[in-house]
Structure formats: C-alpha cells, structure tokens
Amino acid sequence: MFKNALATMLIWLTAMMVSGVFVWLLSDILIPGLTHLSWAFLAEAPTNAGRSGGIGPIIISTLLILLVAMLTATPLSLATAVLLSEFTQHDSVVGRLVRGSLDVLAGVPSIVFGLFGNAFFCIYLGLGFSILSGGLTLACMVLPILIRTAEQGLQSAPNDYRLAAAALGMSRSATLVHLLLPSAAPALIAGLMLGIGRAVAETAALAFTSGYVDRMPDSLFDSGRALSVHIYDLSMNVAGGDTNAYSSALVLILLLLIINSVAMSLAKQWLHGSVVAYE
Amino acid sequence: MSLSRADRQLAVLLRGCALLAAALVLLILLFLLKESWPVLQHIALIRFVTDASWHPVEGLYKLTPMLSATCYSTLGAVLLATPLGIASALFSRYYAPSLLAGCYRRLIELLAGIPSVVCGFWGLTTLAPLIGHLHPPGVSLLTGILVLTLMILPTVALTADSALAAVPAAYLRGAAALGLSRWGLIIGITLPAARSGITAGVMLAAGRAIGETMAMLMVAGNVVQQPHSLFDSVRTLTANIALEMAYATGDHRAALFVSGLALMFTVLLLVGTAELISRKRRYV
C-alpha cells in the first residue's frame, strides 16, 4: 500500500519535473528572443560578425539547403518506398538488403555524415563548401526517415484498391498514381515533415559541408551558413553575440512550427482532390 | 499477373533508385575508410591508447581522454534518462487522466523535436552558470550529462510508451481480476512484459547520446583531459571532430576520420543490438 502511494507520488513528480524543465527551456529561449525579433532582423544582413544586424541571408541559405536536400531525397525515397511496398515481396532478398542498409543508415551519427559529406561532396566531387554539398549531405541523412514513413503509408493503403484496380485492368503505374499515392498522402507528408524537421535542426553535418559564410548566396555553389550553424557560431565564437543568438534560436523554433503546420494543410488539400476522399 | 511494358520499365527505374539508396551506407563506409587509411596504414591502432597525449600536429594521437569523456557522459545520461523516461511513459499510460496524458505525450514529442543546438545553447546560457556557482568552471561533464539527459529522455519515453501500449489488454484485465494495486500491476506485469521494447529504446537513446555533437561541444568545456570529477571540463570524441575538422590536414585529418569510424561502429553495434532485442519480442 505504502509502495503504491510512493510510486504514484514519484511518477507524478517526474512528470511535473520534465514539464517544468521543458517550460523553463522554452521560456528561456522565447522571452529574450521575442524582445529582439522584428521584420528588420529577419530581412537584414548580419554585421559585425553577427552581433548586430539580422539573419536575412542566413534564412535564405537555410531554405536553399533544405530545398536541395528535399528535392534530392524525396524522389529517391518515394521510388525506394514504392519498390519495397508494391514491387517486391516483404521478405525478398532485395527487400531485406535495402531495409537492412537503411536501418544502418538511420543509426549513423550526424557528425559522421558531416565527415562523409566533406570527403565525398566537398572534396571528391569538387563541390567545395557549398549549399549544394550541405543539401546533399542532409539528403543522405533524411533518406531513412522518408523511406520508412512512405513505405508504411503505402502499406497501409487497403489491399482492395490493388485488387479492384487489377480487375479493372489498370496498369500498376496508374494504380500507383491514382489510388495508392493519394491514399498514402498523409503519411508521405508526415514523413516529409519529419525529414524537414530533422534537416532544419541539423548542425554538425552542415558545419563542414555548407560552411560558415554569412553573405547572401549568389548560387547553389556558394557557401551558405545555416540557421543552426549561426546559433552555434554566435554563442560559442562571438563574444556578445547572445542577443542575436536568442532571436535566431527563436526563429529556428518558429520555422519548425511553420513547416509543421504548412505540411499539415497541404496534406488536407491533397486528400481533398483525390479519389479516396469521395468514398 | 504479367506486367505491361511501362510497368516493367517503372520497376527497373525503382530498383535502380532503391539500390542507390541501399548503396549509400557502403559509400559512407568506403569514404571513411579511404580518408582514415593513411593513418591506419602506418600507425598501429594501439597508439590511439598508448601515446602520451593528443597532439596530432606532433604525431601524438592519444584518444583515451575523449573516449572516456564520451563513455562517462553517455553512461551518466542513460542512467538519468532511463528512470525518468520510463516514469514519463508510465505517467502518460497509467497515471494521468486521458486529456493530461495526451498533452504530456505531445510535450515529450515537442521536446524530441528541439534542435540539439538549441539545447546546447540553453545549457550554455542557463545551466552552465548555475553549475558554475556550485563549482567553477560550469562548462563540465555534469552540464553535458544533464543536457544529454534532456535530449535522450524523449527517445526513452516514447519507445517505452509504445512498448507499454503493446502489452496485451488481457494481462491488464487478469491483473485487475487478481486485485493487484496499480504499482503491483506495473512492477509485476507490464514492465516485465514490455521489457524488451524498453531495453531497445534505451539502446537507441545510448546511440543518440554517443553520437550527439553540438550539445556536448557547447556545454562540456572542450578541454582534452581525463575527467576526475563531474565538474571537470571534458571533450568528447564528437566534439573533437567538430572542433578540429576545420583546420586538420594530413595525418591529423585522417586520425579524426578514424575516430568517426570508431563512432560509427559503436553506434551501429548499439542499434543492431536494439534491433535484435525488439525483434525477439513475443507475447504468448
């Protein structure tokens, strides 16, 4: 009886403590960040090593890196997921091989992706420190998440669709485009969202692939500083950079939230225009 | 059913993409090996332990201070995050009213999504000065452990939560029929039943802690030394790579790739074990 009461107390205490620390962390970032946040801060270029000025070019670089990563990773992961779910048996050799190597890829630490990206994209392929190298490194990193979620989404499409489409004489590709992909859309979008979330939060893999240059990038071959790298640089290497670091951290968190909600509304729209929504 | 010509072409295309995705791991391994080869070739592995110090420019490659910093911080974070994470999962599964449980689960998911650089920044600006009051310099093994705990707690909590959710309802009904108390039910039935899922989650969390770079780089102080107390500044393997990659050349650079290779293998071992454990999970 006593043990039961003690356990109840301890578990409630843990929950309150975890929530408390979460609120503490969030308010510590949000409150100082909000006082300094303005449109000018979002649009201006950083001056004096980032101590003053804004983060305009850094936001653009971050978005470009994300764009490169997602444009590369999405088609590749969609194709892999379709192959795994629709064109192979679950326990076939190809399926097991691909799944196994993706499980391994998912466990690789981000700093190792950074090393690989530096050695492969920057030096071996000669892309140098550039937005392209950073984006491609992140694409490798988010591949397992995208494939896993897309595969789960496709697999959860009702088997009746496949049977009915086959009975109507639809080709596999038509079935895929008109039935399976729309019905898996929420899962695909959710996966994309997870991938973007992971990519936008990433720092270690970007520091030696996309670099530290905080100017406005002219092309994808320019080095561009990501927002997370900017926060790191301001807080560690620039004395007196904390004010702008707080605001940048706030922008990073807001960016994550915005991406999240845009993806959700996209998922809804897509579903609305598909066959599945009329059943 | 035979495939049409277009479908066959599609299948070939898909297969090509999938093989490309699968080959990525090999490519990463290959390039890590290629870059670390110069050092592996003419320096015996034992020298990473027996050299006098870590002065790569002078050809001294002792990695043990970084290795022990990584081990201690991971161990500390796992020891703290495991009970807290399991308690969190138990809270949202068995203790909280359903509305509160949903909110709490959402909170843990949000915590999981906080970028590591933001956690590190918070540790640096808030936690480190607090610990500095207790015992300078503040940026220390202890700060690292606390920030890491915060970062891996969601992994433990979310995996434990889904492991608890997978415990068959018949077990719970049986326990209720026997008149077990809530704690009796948890300690006697659900935790043992969910044990393998929880263990797998802890392994994954340990893997994440070992591979974590930014937070440790920002809050642990980055002094290359064998830690003697929790308040000593340390530098982990990951932080070492992040700090020195910017200017390392030649054998120094190769030595950093060797530590990257070592990190990759350790994490893969943990992830692989977690996979094996969770695959064995069976309910009678």
Tell me which residue range forms the domain holding A123.
37-278
Q: Which two tokens stand for residue B183?
A: 């704690």
Structure-token pair, residue A178 = 């008109």
User: Which residue of chain A comes nearest to B101, CA vs CA?
Assistant: A15
Whether the predicted pLDDT of B61 surpasses 50: yes
The pLDDT of B5-34, averaged and rounded, is 91
Q: Which residues of B touch A76 (CB under 8 A)?
A: 17, 20-21
Residue-wise pLDDT tens digits, B137-169: 889 999 999 999 999 999 999 999 999 999 999
Question: Considering only CB atoms, which chain A residues are within 8 Å of B267?
Answer: 107-109
pLDDT of the residue at B244:
92
Do residues B148 and B85 touch, judged by C-beta distance below 8 A?
A: no
Please indicate, yes or no, if residue A196 is contained in any of the structural domains: yes
Decide if A160 is inside a domain.
yes
Residue A4 domain flag: no
Q: What is the pLDDT of residue A277?
A: 40
- Beta strand B54-55 with B60-61: parallel, antiparallel or unpaired? antiparallel
Instruction: List Cα–Cα distances, B194 to B105, B182, B191, B203, in angstroms.
Output: 18, 16, 5, 15
- CB–CB of B209/B77 below 8 Å? yes
Q: How far is B50 from chain A (nearest CA, A)?
A: 25
Specify the number of domains making up chain A: 1
Give me the interface pTM, i.e. the ipTM.
0.90
Q: Which of A10, A25, A112 sits opposite B260 (nearest CB)?
A: A112
pTM attached to this predicted model: 0.90
Cα–Cα distance for residue pair B223/B92, rounded to 1 Å: 40
Q: Is the pLDDT of residue B284 over 60?
A: no
Instruction: Quote the pLDDT of residue B46.
Output: 84
A112, part of any domain: yes
Of A14, A83, A107, the CB nearest to B207: A107
Instruction: Establish if A23 belongs to a structural domain.
Output: no
Structural domain contains residue A19: no
In a domain, A27, yes or no: no
For position A167, what pLDDT does the model report? 93
| Among candidates B1, B125, B241 on the partner chain, residue whose Cβ is nearest the Cβ of A242 | B125
Q: Averaged in consecutive runs of 10 residues, what is the pLDDT profile of chain A (279 residues)?
A: 89 95 92 87 87 90 94 94 87 86 89 94 93 96 92 87 91 89 84 87 90 88 92 90 91 84 65 45
Query: What's the mean pLDDT when you consider all of chain B?
Result: 90
Q: Mention every residue, 6+ apart, whose C-beta is less than 8 A from residue B250.
A: B38
CA dihedral B278, B144, B28, B15 (to 10 degrees): 40
Question: Which two three-digit tokens encode residue A190?
Answer: 């959710």
Q: Which residue has the higher pLDDT, B45 or B214?
A: B214
The CATH architecture that domain B54-279 belongs to is: Orthogonal Bundle (1.10)
Q: Specify if A3 maps to a domain.
A: no
Give contacts of B183 with chain A, Cβ < 8 Å.
3-4, 7-8
Q: Please tell me which of the candidates B87, B108, B214 has its beta carbon nearest to residue A11.
A: B87
CA-nearest of B209, B199, B200 to B237 is B209
CATH number of the CATH domain containing A88: 1.10.3720.10
Q: Where are the domains of chain B?
A: 5-42, 54-279
Span B192-210, average pLDDT: 91
Strand partners, A52: A47
Confidence of residue B109 (pLDDT cuts 50, 70, 90): confident
- Which residues in chain B touch residue A228, judged by CB atoms under 8 angstroms apart? 115, 117, 214
Task: Indicate the DSSP class of residue B45.
Answer: T
